[in-house]
Amino acid sequence: MHAIGVDIGGTKIAAGVVDEDGVILAKTRLETDSSHGDGVDAGVVEACRRLIADWPVEAIGLAAPGFVSADRATVGFTPNLPWRDHPLRDVVAAALPPGLRIVVENDANAAGWAEFQFGVARDVQDMVTLTLGTGLGGAVVSGGALVRGAWGVAAEIGHMRVVPGGHPCGCGQSGCWEQYVSGSALERDAREAAQSQPTRARRLLEIAGHGWQSVRGKHVTKAAREGDELALELIATLGHWVGLGAATVSALLDPALYVVGGGLSAAGDLVLDPARAAFSENLSARGYHPEAAFAVAAMGNDAGIVGAADLARR
């Protein structure tokens, strides 16, 4: 059975027809009009219509950033789109032919499910996905089932507090994990270092080109790959926080694998090696049970499409 997966972002909507093996057979992409909710709805509907016109489809999965209700119908809140308690499933269903199964999924859950079913985690039954992007997204699969929680908002893992009284977070709390493990965190720390240590940050400043204010995470990754000492320290610090937080997660969930995705996963072992070391050092009952492995996500930018389609099919 073919299904459509729609990955809804703050700047674009990407959709594809996906078969039962997780292969994308056709894709389309639209820019997101995020100035008002109706514009986003219209983009989602148009993406689905384009694909339905040429392919037999029985189900549609809508991967949305933010809190999704347990019945997979409503987007309760999303920080980058103007949706608040928005009945996305019903709005889209009303604009498309009848008889389609339509479900809404959290975008990180969709991406994590794609890795579990078709990607690097397909041989395990218990895994956690960490998406290191602007913030820190997460997905949890336990015993082969996606964990959504009582109200559909489980696995908001970036807002697990790791440093009481630490860096303030956009969620209103402070010391959240994503304030130490994200592109935003890396950019903040890199800019601080470039401003206070311009000599050590010479290569970073050269790559950025316009002063310390213009230093971004991608500049740090580039400099680190070249062997720059400061950039390597910044990446290693981020990796340390990945491992430290994962050790706490393991005390609760005991996964076999952590899948690290998002833009910062491009740093590969520059992030994963210090993550593995910090994880092992901070793991409870160390030496008395196997330790979880760490791997870079395999599904890339298509993970949300593939995961949303497969979850809708089920």
Q: What is the pLDDT of residue 106?
A: 94
Say whether pLDDT at 194 is over 90. yes
Say whether pLDDT at 161 is over 90. yes
The pLDDT tens digits of the residues spanning 11-69 come to: 899 999 999 999 999 999 999 877 777 889 999 999 999 999 999 999 999 999 889 99
Report the CATH number at residue 184. Answer: 3.30.420.40
Q: What is the mean pLDDT of residues 72-85?
A: 89
Mean pLDDT of the residues in the chain: 94
Do 148 and 292 lie in one domain? The reply is yes
Do 91 and 145 lie in one domain? The reply is no
Q: What is the mean pLDDT of residues 230-244?
A: 97
Do 153 and 84 lie in one domain? The reply is no
Domain assignment present for residue 118? The answer is no
Q: What is the mean pLDDT of residues 108-121?
A: 97
Do 177 and 90 lie in one domain? The reply is no
Domain assignment present for residue 243? The answer is yes
Total domains present in the chain = 2
Residue 60 near residue 102, CB atoms below 8 Å: yes
Domain that holds residue 36: 3-113+302-313
Do 134 and 106 lie in one domain? The reply is no
Say whether pLDDT at 288 is over 90. no
Do 188 and 75 lie in one domain? The reply is no
